[in-house]
Amino acid sequence: MRAPLERLAAGEILSGDGAWGTQLMARGLAPGDCPESMNLTKPEVLAEVAGLYLAAGADLVTTNTFGGSPLNLASHGLDDRTEEINRSAVEVLKPVTNGRAYVSASVGPTGKILEPYGDTSQELIAEAFSRQIGALIDAGADLVCVETMIDLREAELAVRAARSHSADIPLIATMTFDATPRGFFTTMGNTVELACTTLVEAGADIVGSNCGNGIDTMIEIAREFSKHASVPVIIQSNAGLPENRDGELVYPESPEYMAERVSQLMDLGVAIIGGCCGTTPDHIRAIRAAIDVDRY
């Protein structure tokens, strides 16, 4: 495959994959268990999920490392296995994708709150990201995706940690925004405009938003990114907001519902379209089909 940034520069629209947590829970991950521990104990499950998203048409297949920083893993007594857990996640996916999709190294929040609002220093969080991302890059990840960030300072630390390990690896950074009467803000009060400026200056090649919103709200967030982003934009929507139906959480947006709105994202210049919570291989298959129809 050509390099992802080269394909985006040529105007190609790429498809991300969908949710991983629900797929892992359907295959034995119990509530409260550490998802990343499955990288060591059930690598065949990761290979199965990756294969489903690959077959659905995803150009980016995500590693099971969202909570793979040592600060997160410490709550499960696994911080001393940080490098092993992250490395194995990449190594499982590489033969599955086999040059047909990019292995996207997922880097989520550390679960800690930066000083002065919390009790964790910038230095500690930066070191945690450095350990995780260094292992992911060394294992052969094709790109790094810093995602689901609500504190721009933490996102910037993760982006800079990635750039300290590689000046060249394609780097995605996404934030999660809430709709307010004054516009879209992260929980920590960061705007889309500030996120675009800060993340690009820190070294991100692609910026955007994931999680927290269904596709209709994400279209409006994409509209804001289209005003401020100087680099390609990625949008990965939830399949709506979860609803409690007879004691079960259900995401209401069907694959068809999301696919019908893909053209609006493309009209706003979104370069990578995928899914987040509640999305399945069927959602990605429908999104991919909509991208291909609109492209040709």
pTM tops 0.95, yes or no: yes
| Average pLDDT of every residue of the chain | 96
Token representation of residue 246: 């007879």
| The pLDDT of residue 17 | 98
Q: Which residues contact 200 (CB under 8 A, 6 or more apart)?
A: 207, 229, 230, 231
| The pLDDT of residue 244 | 87
The answer on pLDDT for 296 being more than 90 is: no
Residue in this structure with the two tokens 């990761």, named with its chain if needed: 46
- Beta bridge partners, 225, equal none
Determine the straight-line distance between the first and last CA of the chain, rounded to whole angstroms. Answer: 20
The tens digit of pLDDT for each residue in 199-232 reads 999 999 999 999 999 999 999 999 999 999 999 9
The answer on pLDDT for 246 being more than 90 is: no
Q: What are phi and psi of 220, to 5 degrees?
A: -70, -35
Percentage of the chain exceeding pLDDT 70: 99
Q: Kindly list the structural domains of the chain, giving each domain's residue range(s) and its CATH number in brackets, ordered by start.
A: 4-295 (3.20.20.330)
Q: How far is CA 242 from the centre of its chain?
A: 19
3 state SS for 234-292: EEEECCCCCEEECCEEECCCCHHHHHCCHHHHHHCCEEEEEECCCCCHHHHHHHHHHHH
Q: How far is CA 195 from the centre of its chain?
A: 16
The tens digit of pLDDT for each residue in 54-89 reads 999 999 999 999 999 999 999 999 999 999 999 999
CA-based torsion, 135, 138, 140, 143: positive or negative: positive
Distance, in Å, from the CA atom of 274 to the CA atom of 13, rounded to the nearest integer, reads 11
